[in-house]
Chain A
Amino acid sequence: MKRLLTIVGLLVLLGGVAVCAAEDGVTDKEVVIGAGLDLTGAVANWGVNIKAGMDAVFSRVNAAGGVHGRKIRLIAYDHVYQPPKAVTNAKRLVERDKIFVMMGHLGTPTTKAVMDYLQDKQVPNIFPATLASIWTNSGKYHVGDLATYADQTGLIVDYLVKERKIRKIASFYQDDEYGLDGHLAGKARLKHTHDLAYVAEVDYKRADIDFSSQAAKLKESGADAVIVQAVYREPPRLAEQCHAIGYNPVFIGPSPIVVAKTIELGGKHVEGLMGVEVYPLPTDPGAFLDQYRADMAKYAPSLPIDTTNLYGYQKAAVFVEAMQRAGRNLTRDSVLKAIESIKDWDPGWGLKYGYGGDNRRGMSNAGRLVTVKDGKWIKVGDWMELKEVGRK
């Protein structure tokens, strides 16, 4: 009897250990990945396309048998670009759907809202679809991927002051974690590197529908260039309203504005708009991009190839590489370690990803300037290594 009890006890203990050892979201045949995206709200263009890009990679990988025999299943919920909804969704993904990792979570304010929760639950927040600098310095569970808005704004400020010899620069920014990241970095860069200050700091809210007061303030400041820390909806309308009052500065902003939608919405008013690109254009040459175009044609034929879906596509591609490296024994720790093992890795587009140590910024900080010419985004400069800029 006593022996029996001991055996039962041991079994229970072992069972417990075994349960603990198996990560949430990983079985012999499957890995479940979660994403919180805006599919129906203000930045739905990004959300829908990021999901399509990620799905394209996973579909191709699954069709070829998965990663180490495991198929990848992506569960995406719509947070409508609203932080409280993002939190509800994250809880649902972690606690009910038992996801392995969160991936490609969209939006700075929304991802910031779920940051502490994911940290508490020790669910890695991989390649969130926000390039705020916070993802590059918030510990091991948060892994950013491309050049941050802060870094990009540094590039913008240097370009305006050094190349264009513009000294009167204004900032037009979204009044939330997203807009402030670049806004504050630009302020620091102006001050420390160029001994300058913004001539005007004009904010807007995501729900704003009229920018004429912002346009008036910018015009009054006499700024020759306006840095737009915005997404694709705002630069066209700001430009229209500035032009309406006879004000034509250089408009320039970070990567979220570099999408086809900006041109579709703004038409002639966004001719000459400049932006920073942190990964190649979907039309650029390269084996990786060929694969991307083929996958999109096959798995998302209704969507045109665009910066937005390429963004999701490259995230998924790097993640698959990390899972390959993690091997058959897949745990959250092993996949995080695998990501850190990526160094000088080029998926096939001439730009390299590299992690390591405290560097949680995936691709080699690359950025280049682009502009709208004849209704198309074209490159102005070459790829540059961006220096890290703090917010101080």
Chain B
Amino acid sequence: MAAACLSVDDLCVNFGGLRAVDHVSFAIESGRIHGLIGPNGAGKTTIFNCVTGFYRPTSGRVRFLEHDITGFRPDQVAKLGIARTFQNVQLFASLSVLDNVLVAKHGHMRTGVLAEGLGLPFVRKQEHAVRDTAFGLLDFLGLADLHRKPAASLPLGHQKRLELARALALEPKLLLLDEPASGLNTSETQALGEMLGRVRERFALTVLLVEHDMGLVMNVTDVITVLNFGRKIAEGTPKDVQNDPEVIKAYLGETAGAGRG
């Protein structure tokens, strides 16, 4: 097996009496797009939150490359190279599109507040470089023309792309995407799928994708882990998973129309 980029070992998360994640283990190989699926409330977002440091797992460990990141703070996790998007878009609403991306570059600058305030030359040089990369990203995602607009004024599809641009600006090694297609129509979803492919190529990323749109998941992922009620019920290639009776049982009724688009 190739080196694991992220591995989750025997993870448990309790909320009061509720066990949202129940002894889940899986590993993602570097360079893969790994799907994490399951019905509503299965614990997908909770796992994201544990990986990115928003929740502290009740037990179990999270490893990223050579680091044990269990219990790390979100900003520490981010600095190690994990970026994510949110199920409900979390942009800096009144900041401009460009500033949203620049925030991600904050941690990459090696300057103090004082040097910045004084506008020292070396700071300015860094500043220019940072701006160029940010513009490059916006261009890549087709948002360059909108860079002055406040993020909140963008339509949802653009907001989702901006969130992606912002995540990419962190220059992550691992990208966690929480339902990137939710709220998008069919053609937008298709475009997103193509975009993901290009992103992986260009940035040499590992991706963990949570998604309810089965078409998208089956298309782009290499491996899929399936959760139900906090427990892992299946894992394998899209084809394997699709035919797994447990998975079909778990999804029964959902595919019939209760699924979220």
A touching B, CB within 8 angstroms: no
Interface residues of A (CB under 8 A from B): none
